[in-house]
Amino acid sequence: MNKHGKSILEAVIATLVIILFYGIYFGVIISQIDSMLIKLLVGIIPAILGVMIIYVCIQRIREIKGGQEDDLGKY
């Protein structure tokens, strides 16, 4: 596996782990709530977080493909 492939794989794995963690965390919280309306409102939070995390992962993959392996290099 080349250098870019390894960095992309690391970004994707980190994204999946974070989404899995938030999914389980909010799933347990939602399972403890009785009101369906509150369940829907609380369920929106992990959905928004998941979309944001995936967006950040896509940006990171674009940076890696653009040749910027070290994301701290611009600081």
Residues 16-44 pLDDT 10s: 999 999 889 989 999 999 999 998 888 89
pLDDT at 52 over 90: yes
pTM higher than 0.85: no
> Where are the chain's structural domains?
3-65
DSSP letter at 66 equals: T
Helices 3-31, 36-65: crossing angle, 10 deg rounding: 170
Average pLDDT over residues 43-54: 90
